[in-house]
Structure 1
Amino acid sequence: MRISARADYAVRAALQLAATQDAGPVKAETIADGQDISHKFLEGILGDMRRGGLVQSQRGGNGGYWLARPADSISVADVIRCVDGPLVSVRGVRPPELSYTGPAESLLTLWIALRANVRQVLDGVSLADLAAGKLPAEISGLADAPDAWTNP
């Protein structure tokens, strides 16, 4: 699985908003500077997140962006889906829409299992979890596995 720059930036922007959720609107420039993201690229991402219902915005001198829902009700998967679409696809197709024959027939089950595990991890972590630096135990456990940090 590959996480796009767009998804990475979107999650980082959402975390910046989660960390300042009670401070009122945050300007895109502030998010861009705080996360070292191109302002123009970030504006497009924030627009997608606004259209996807994850953030709200207000124009003007006191304007900016804020989360549309509490940070504990927005998962990392929600953010990624909003800017990149489905979490797992094969050649741009969702796994249930695929079919294989012959020796590759069981490949579909593998792709479905991969999607289920990706969902479990990304749906299981909220912006509030990340902003607080407190990942769920099952996620920390996966990262603590001896081979998690090595390149095969």
Structure 2
Amino acid sequence: MCEPPEPTRHDSGVQISARGDYAVRAALSLAQSYPQLMSAQAIAQDQDMPRKFLEAVLADLRRAGVVRAQRGAEGGYTLSQPPRDVTIGQILRAVDGPLAGVRGLRPEETTYSGAAENLPNLWVAVRSAVREVVDEVSLAELISGRMPAHVRKLTTRPDAWQPR
């Protein structure tokens, strides 16, 4: 009798955390209603996410200056800048910190010897490739579906949608 295969793991490589995913989705809701205020409850309903977790994410975005909050009965959240001026990279960094890390270090802080001595160059290149996408796509572009050509091109590669 054959044993079932090991379940596929999806925890290697570049990861977008739940916090990062929620932050981008919340920012997209705010971008769509910009410059009007949206309550945390309205964002949570719009994006089908837990309000308490969303409120923590919005607090991170507020501390980073990505969103501003207004208190009171008519209060809520709005982007601090127009959607065309807010990048996905800004949002991800606001909630998760640096985009690429190697065992808690920034790629340029890593050092290796022997056969791995050039590995920091690869880690820096990986970070640079991620930046070329997330730092060059604004909320407005993502909402409209009109992302920069080099980003759209990445999605059309034959293996882009294939897991590996």
TM bucket normalised to smaller: over 0.9
| CA shift digits 1:41-98 (9 cap, x unpaired) | 0000000100100000111110000000111111000000000000000111101111
- Secondary structure (helix, strand or coil) at the match of 1:44 reads helix
Identify which of 83, 86, 102 aligns with 2:95. Answer: 83
Aligned residues: 151
How far 1:131 moved relative to its partner? Answer: 1.4
Runs of 4+ in structure 1 over 4 Å off:
none
Q: In the alignment, which residue of structure 1 is the partner of 2:10?
A: none
Q: Higher relative CO (CA 8 A, sep ≥ 6), structure 1 or 2? A: 1
The answer to whether 1:21 aligns with 2:34 is: yes
Q: In the alignment, which residue of structure 2 is the partner of 1:102?
A: 114
With structure 2 as the length reference, what TM-score do the two structures score?
Answer: 0.90
Of Structure 1 and Structure 2, the greater helix share is in 1
How far 1:151 moved relative to its partner? Answer: 1.5
Larger mean CA deviation between 128-137 and 84-93 belongs to 128-137
User: Pairwise mapping of residues 73-152 of structure 1 onto structure 2 (< 5 A)?
Assistant: 73-152=85-164
Amino acid in structure 2 at the alignment position of 1:98: T
Q: In the alignment, which residue of structure 1 is the partner of 2:60?
A: 48
Q: In the alignment, which residue of structure 1 is the partner of 2:23?
A: 10
- Secondary structure (helix, strand or coil) at the match of 2:74 reads coil
Q: State the superposition RMSD in angstroms.
A: 0.7
CA–CA distance in structure 2, aligned partners of residues 59 and 132 of structure 1: 30
Task: Extract unaligned runs of 5+ from structure 1.
Answer: none
How far 1:130 moved relative to its partner? Answer: 0.7
Give the share of equivalent positions with the same residue, in percent: 50
Is the radius of gyration larger for structure 1 or structure 2?
Answer: 2
